Structure 1
Amino acid sequence: MAGPTTRGACRVTATDSRTSPQPRLRADALRNRERIIAAARETMVEFGAEVPLDEIARRAGVGNATLYRHFADRLELIHHVTLSVMSRTADCAERALAEESDAFQALRRFVHDAVEERIGALCPLLSDGVDPAHPELLAARERLEAAIEAVMGAARDSGQLRTDIAVGDLMVAITQLTRPLPSSGCADFDRFVHRHLQLFLDGLLTPARSELPGSAATLDDLRRRP
């Protein structure tokens, strides 16, 4: 889907506010902050990490000044959007595993829930100025990877999940199947997502109908740069 861009804006130098202690926010300020992060998550999936900040503020229903009171620059906002997506997606995996009695149903539930958390936003965010070694991001990534590994491991141990895939394979598929196509003619793309995810999930069941080329992909594989 085509959308507004501001080339070069993403390279703004990050401020120290990502690492300094954050003051306790009033309830209304906290709501505004959460609305900004949610709006940024949505618009960055649609248009990429370079979406204009005034568009994010408009989607959040706040003024530009409010956005800048919470996030000094684009990189600080991207940092917190990335943390939010990782945390919320890990929550999905942990809840699915805890609440579903069938291991593969827990995997199905996690995949569909992860779509609603806009996990497709992670790839452009992690590749566009975010410090992958930041302690907050390392902790969030470790929690997310462990949560997904637990869901997949349970499905594998139950004999329902094919054994030749890993977390990276799952994440690539979810990301690719949930990113809007680069065409304004695909405005209703979201209505097909869960249908196609279900087709993908059926392909993960054992017995496998074919042998996959290459080797299973891990999250480390996805983080490696050429």
Structure 2
Amino acid sequence: MAKRVAVILSGCGVYDGTEIHEASAIMVHLSRAGAKVQMFAPNVEMMHVVDHCKGQPGTEKRNVMQESARIARGDVTDLAKLDVTAFDALIIPGGFGVAKNLCDWAIKGKEYSIKPQVEKIIKDFHKAGKPMGMCCISPVLAAKAIPGCELTFGHDSECDMWPHAQVAKSMVEMGCKHMNKNVDEVHVDKKNKLVTTSAFMCNAAIHEVFDGLGVMVSEVLKLA
């Protein structure tokens, strides 16, 4: 029987929404595995809209769900309608939209909080013993919703290949266990059924990110 997977998006575009290559790769791997997928997004205003040519925010206002529909080819559902009992697993791609629209990590760092709607869904999947996959920056959601969980953001020593290693150190300071993994690897927290991988936290080639996300999807489906 096909596994039923919910995918939560946070907009469209790396600087203010979902990282498009990550979302696309995840969908390809889920499709190849024969999974039945439904994409969701919160029906709320984005924190801000970034000009992706300049990397600078403007004054325009946009809706997270409407922007996510660009990735979902229009087939996106209001996150408020996500019924945990209807799915076998949850996957959340990365992108700054996670840190801006699903939580406020981008503004508050370690003092961040998750949007209540998102936090409830993660906790409900966890309570039901259903696996979750998170990549890039999205494991910060698990770090807050599942205290003490094991996860990876890649490596915890900053260098040209790993420019965001400070995030890993922050997770340790929050009481989580960070596992150093390469971009084509994942970490599986068996106790919490949480599968994480670094994706674009690393300055890797796009095919390496694609391959790592394939491992994440495979491991999530094994646990489902």
Q: Which category describes the TM-score, using the shorter chain as reference length? A: 0.3 to 0.5
Larger relative contact order (CA 8 Å, sep ≥ 6)? 1
- TM-score normalised to structure 2 length: 0.34
Q: Name the structure with the higher strand share.
A: 2
- TM-score normalised to structure 1 length: 0.34
Q: Name the structure with the higher helix share.
A: 1
